[in-house]
Structure 1
């Protein structure tokens, strides 16, 4: 090649490089606008296209990490922030984003490390200092709890003496009635009055709240980790997905589909609490129905029925604000007794996240699990709360940073090996409130419309008949009082949506 030709090629390469940078910058601006409009998945896609045009730009990876955080894909956020730091070790926002994602996963030591690094580069950022303080506080709390923990530690639930909690004469809310043995009992009349009080933003008395929680806990303790539900001829079962503290949308479900009863059974598939700011009202309502109809109101444990999530995303703060720290502990212990999944009609697995495909656990192995614990970071219990489906074949680490993503071939193989036809799971926002994927092997249902007052999605629920044929109902978000999501989340994290 002549010298003139080499110069010409060099000029062309520079021109192409300049065009790529311009293309990437235009895509970044479009992504920023989509992010501003709260279209996080579209923003993530635009940032990805920008990275294809200019893979050397650290800011693009940092922006995509931020979009991933909004989509709760914390594993992807950590990977993108780490790549940004490879490209630019002095990029403060990349440390910030990686710290946010680590905090969201409960990896407080990693979050502290990254927030400190970010502060060294941006010492005047007050938000960073607040987040560092929160992460250090949680890190110390975990260390303190670990130091105090003993193998035979007595449950907080055992310390509650219900008779010592006096209902004052001045209390003007719903009241429980005593049965012939003097035991306070949950009745339909009480639940209806309680729902109305909650709708008017009034709480029930602490005594009654503890009665509901402890009576429900006793029922849950008698259940196996995987529960079989029959759907006899001429009956049905309604399955709802995440409700996430959106109490007024729970009322909409009941308006559309009727209250739970022995002829109108429901299964709520986890993530009752966190994010929305009426989590206490939702969980007390569902537990009360569990007390009244123990064979016809079913509750699955989701990944947010866990201490690590409740501490960050608002439920613990909400319980402390509305009741007491002791009650938050009793809720935590009750969550540990929630079943991990249900087999409906011998055909359908209903589980919050997905089937335990990575560890290839069988239904019988799940039935034998000791679920009375906080969720581990791997194994069948973890997967059932955290796994997600994906379009492509095979199995890969989940974008969330916990569990795996599984393809249609994996779902089909696991279901057939366990004698099942489909899995119904929740755990993910869907634009129409539900999604049928994997050729019908995997269905997602999500029942929190306009999730966190910003996603614009519909909610949905599924009704199964005795043949386990699903039918879907979509619904829009219900109006609610002017209270923002995560109003009770810890400090600097109340805006992490």
Structure 2
């Protein structure tokens, strides 16, 4: 008969073995598998702070910052002197844009490890970021008093130098020839002249502003419609989608379902290409807002830095304004509900309520607009807290009720990396589609898009692999301190 002590010992040994396996999975960028193995180790021995902190790090890699904060907090409770616990929690807070909370955690790291140069450097970066935010808050103009930056720009007055050899828009109309030339220039890492960039963004703004918050799309019988998920600045993979599925046109229309920018370092090329197609043929290109079409995300995850580098400071303001004009949801043939994140924390939400959302603002921290942009499906029924720390998780019963109450058949959403580029969940009633293959050059996932043909609108899902891109790393333009933690 084995004693309690021996049992505890063998559990601890087995937990250590699982931790080592988890570490291997982590090194191979198999973060879901790592989380699973760390969880098994924690089940056998939940008093080891290292397991919790390691699992927190794997959650960070999966952008599950809410779960990472919980795990890191647990590590700190077990061992208040364990600096990695504070370090991981600080990194998760940073990724969520919670700079003041992050600052407190890095101050703790520094207190525990006063002579660690790395801790000192990170604390300094964090202090700088918090100071900058406090300064920006102090000088911020209230939304109601803010003048539109778009109204102050007249692109007609901008001179195009004779030596400029790139794509040109003749007059007021964006043509297919122009878009093809621009895409080709981008492919060869050439820039578009600011005059034409202004013209595209300002024209796209006018079109998007005039659209409803929930857009109804009609696909005639025998015609098809393609839905793509997150592209995240992966311009060369966007070109590959057009290679595989044809350029956007009235006969070949697309909906890009949010998160066009950030993380990938060709976000300017992606957004100008999508906006140019919108200008060329409004019914060939539909665009939904994602959680990354927002100032706070663009500040952290690279788009703001990239825009300053490739265009100018004023474009940062302009894009922020245009992102607030993006519709939040689309319904195809009164059957398919398409939204970036997912469903709601309450039952009974009607399409009419979504139509009534005043979307012309930065995304709020709660409510319908926040949930549309941030929430995720979960395998278990009911609702749960979000892994991300924003929005919520919702089960198959929630999906089914929402569809029944609104006389719909399917939810299509994006927002999450999937190994095959897509996943069908909730008894076939919900599909996630994600179109950034080998996300951040490290996830090894495929991308996908979905083609629907009327009248059946059966989802025809096409998966594709990443294509090579020039040697500019993801997050190359991201805020300094975030790069320190990635």
TM-score after normalising by structure 1: 0.95
Distance 2:383 2:128 in 1: 36
Higher Cα radius of gyration? 1
Tell me the residue number matched to 1:181.
none
Q: In structure 2, do the counterparts of structure 1 residues 159 and 449 end up closer, same or farther at CA, with 3 Å as the change threshold?
A: same
Q: Please tell me whether residue 470 in structure 1 is matched to residue 463 in structure 2.
A: no
Counterpart among 147, 152, 161 of residue 168 in structure 1? 161
Partner of 1:392, secondary structure, is: coil
Name the SS of the counterpart of 2:399 in structure 1.
Answer: helix
1:71-117, Cα deviation, whole Å (9 max, x unpaired): 00000000000011110001111101111111111111111111111
Matched, 1:122 2:113: yes
Q: CA deviation at 1:146?
A: 2.8
Q: Could you tell me whether the CA contact under 8 Å between 1:127 and 1:492 is conserved in 2?
A: no
Distance in 2 separating the partners of 1:87 and 1:360: 42
1:392-403 pair list within 5 angstroms: 392-403=380-391
1:159-215 residue CA offsets vs partner (Å, 9 max, x unmatched): 22313321111111111101xxxxx32111000000000000111101111111010
- What's the RMSD between the two structures over aligned residues? 1.4
- Tell whether 2:32 aligns with 1:41: yes
Mapped partners of 2:121, 2:53: distance in 1 = 21
Aligned pair partner of 1:28 in 16, 19, 22: 19
Find 1:155's aligned residue among 133, 139, 148.
148
Q: Distance in 1 between matches of 2:107 and 2:349?
A: 41
Corresponding residue of 1:223:
211
CA distance in 1, matches of 2:13, 2:370: 44
Secondary structure at the counterpart of residue 177 of structure 1: coil
**1:329 offset after TM fit, Å?**
1.2
Equivalent pair of 2:200/2:279 in contact (CA under 8 Å): yes
- Matches of 1:127 and 1:469 in 2, distance apart? 53
User: Residue in 2 aligned with 1:144?
Assistant: 135
| TM-score (structure 2 length as normaliser) | 0.97
Kept in 2, the 8 Å contact 1:262–1:296? The answer is yes
1:343-492 equivalences in 2 (<5 Å)? 343-358=331-346, 360-466=348-454, 467-492=456-481
After superposition, give the CA deviation of every residue in 1:247-267 in whole Å (9 maximum; x if it has no partner). 000000000000000111000
d(CA) in 1 for partners of 2:444, 2:275: 29
- Paired residues for 1:1-400 under 5 Å: 12-148=3-139, 149-150=141-142, 151-178=144-171, 184-358=172-346, 360-400=348-388
SS of 2:444's partner is coil
1:444 CA displacement: 0.4
Q: Which stretch of the first structure deviates more once superposed, 322-331 or 246-255? A: 322-331
Give distance in 1, aligned partners of 2:342 and 2:121: 36
Shift of 1:496: 4.8
Distance verdict in 2 for CA 1:104–1:372, change over 3 Å: same
* 8 Å CA contact 2:298, 2:304 repeated in 1: yes
Shift of 1:495: 5.7
How far 1:491 sits from its partner (Å)?
1.3
Q: CA deviation at 1:337?
A: 0.5
The whole-number CA distance in structure 1 between the counterparts of 2:482 and 2:203 is 33
Secondary structure at 2:145 match in 1: coil
Secondary structure, aligned partner of 1:256: helix
Does structure 1 conserve the Cα–Cα contact (< 8 Å) formed by 2:347 and 2:402? no
Match in the other structure for 1:3: none
Which stretches of structure 1, 4 residues or more, deviate above 4 A after TM superposition? none
CA distance in 2, matches of 1:312, 1:482: 21
Rate the CA distance shift 1:383–1:32 in 2: closer, same or farther, 3 A. Answer: same
Alpha-carbon offset, residue 141 of structure 1: 3.2
Kept after mapping to 2: 8 A contact 1:75/1:401:
yes
* Aligned counterparts of 1:83 and 1:60: Cα–Cα separation in 2: 10
Cα deviation for residue 153 of structure 1 reads 1.1
Q: 1:308-362 CA distances to partner (integer Å, 9 max, x unpaired)?
A: 1111111101111111111111111110110001011101110000022437532
Distance, in Å, in 1 between the alignment partners of 2:464 and 2:51 is 36
Counterparts of 2:324 and 2:485 in 1: how far apart (Å)? 26
Any gaps of 5 or more consecutive residues in structure 1? 1-7, 179-183
